[in-house]
C-alpha cells in the first residue's frame, strides 16, 4: 500500500531539477512599496478639490462662480499632473 499519510515530496523524485526544486533567494524579500511622489498627490488633491467645488456649485443654486472656480482648479491640477509626468509614477 502506498504511504498516503506523508504530505512531503514523492519518494524517488530528486529535488535538484524537478518541479519541486526551489529557485531564487533563500529568504523572501517583499517588493519595495512606492506610493507615488508628493507632487503627484498634490496634483490629484487639487483635481479632487476642483471637482468637489464644481459639484457643490451645481447643487447649491446653481452657483455659477463656484462651478467655474472648480473647473479652473481641476484644469490647473490636470496641467500640474501632466507637467510633472504623473503617469510615470510606477515601480
Q: What are 3-58's pLDDT values in tens digits?
A: 566 565 555 555 555 555 556 667 888 888 888 899 999 999 999 999 999 999 99
Q: Give domain status of residue 70, yes or no.
A: yes
What pLDDT is stored for residue 1 in this prediction?
55
Q: Give domain status of residue 51, yes or no.
A: yes
Q: Give domain status of residue 55, yes or no.
A: yes
What are the Cα distances from residue 6, in Å, to 2, 3, 12, 54? 10, 6, 14, 66
What pLDDT is stored for residue 90 in this prediction?
75
Total domains in the fold of the chain:
1
What pLDDT is stored for residue 64 in this prediction?
96
Q: Give domain status of residue 25, yes or no.
A: no
Boundaries of domain holding 75: 38-88
Q: Give domain status of residue 16, yes or no.
A: no
Amino acid at each position: 500500500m502506498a504511504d498516503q499519510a506523508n504530505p512531503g515530496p514523492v519518494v524517488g523524485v530528486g529535488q535538484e531539477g524537478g518541479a519541486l526544486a526551489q529557485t531564487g533567494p533563500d529568504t523572501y524579500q517583499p517588493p519595495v512599496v512606492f506610493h507615488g511622489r508628493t507632487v503627484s498627490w498634490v496634483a490629484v488633491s487639487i483635481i479632487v478639490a476642483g471637482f468637489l467645488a464644481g459639484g457643490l456649485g451645481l447643487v447649491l443654486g446653481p452657483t455659477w462662480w463656484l462651478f467655474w472656480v472648480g473647473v479652473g482648479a481641476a484644469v490647473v491640477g490636470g496641467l500640474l499632473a501632466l507637467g510633472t509626468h504623473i503617469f510615470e509614477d510606477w515601480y
